[in-house]
Structure 1
């Protein structure tokens, strides 16, 4: 995965501004993580989709050939 910048959590006496900055940083990190995972999923799903389409096409061809021979 990508780099993770583990920032310490704000202390229990943190100000509102510190908490808001921490929330924004966490949102950005989460967004980056989601983008990385989506990219990996797309890279995995694409070949599987091609295989399914190829298998379906091959099945149709075999069925058409078998049907024509029986006629």
Structure 2
């Protein structure tokens, strides 16, 4: 059976992560995605880093994290 990519995307379950949550890189199986030139919402450092993350249940998402205070600043697509 074949499925189109668009129909498979509806089957994906997003990970539940909240802004302000501590970054759990090992638990979430984090992989570097990109850097953002924007201030941290919590410690005002000048740059945050984006990661693709997946939890132990296979739920996936992307988060922007401050490398200094290690708080989640945003969830992005």
**Which category describes the TM-score, using the shorter chain as reference length?**
under 0.3
Name the structure where helix makes up a greater proportion of residues.
1
TM (normalized to structure 2)?
0.20
Higher-Rg member (1/2): 1
Name the structure where strand makes up a greater proportion of residues.
2
